[in-house]
Amino acid sequence: MAKVIFEFEDKSIPSKTVEADNFENISILEIAESNDVHLSHNCGEVCACSTCHVIILDGFDDLNEISDREEDQIDGAINPTLDSRLGCQAKFINQDATIKVLIPDQKLIIAHEH
């Protein structure tokens, strides 16, 4: 069983765990959206902005490899780290993985509400 644990930089928001039989090839953003977890995104999931920036706290190797284009977009994110990914591009490659994700404070991001 696959699991995503969403934690939030905004400590007023409680963490949320989402489980499924299979998240293989599904993005962190898609999982967030389908489980009422707010993660800003402006570009329509085409790797053209950095509003869906997240930090992978655990399980980085259970996600697809980061592309050069994604790395370029992450450079424009607020406070990127070596464990940063774009939620729209980070997809499960291991159906039994547990991924722990930190969602930066969404109040700092100028984005459309989705």
Tell me if 77 sits within 8 A of 89, measured CB to CB.
Answer: no
d(CA 4, CA 98): 6
Tell me what pLDDT residue 45 has: 87
Mean pLDDT per 10-residue interval, the chain, length 114 residues: 95 95 89 94 90 97 96 94 97 92 89 53
- CATH numbers and ranges of domains, the chain: 2-108 (3.10.20.30)
Element (H, E) at 16: strand 16-20
49, 43 Cβ separation under 8 angstroms: yes
**Residue 34, Cβ neighbours under 10 Å: how many?**
11
- 25/12 Cα distance (integer angstroms): 31
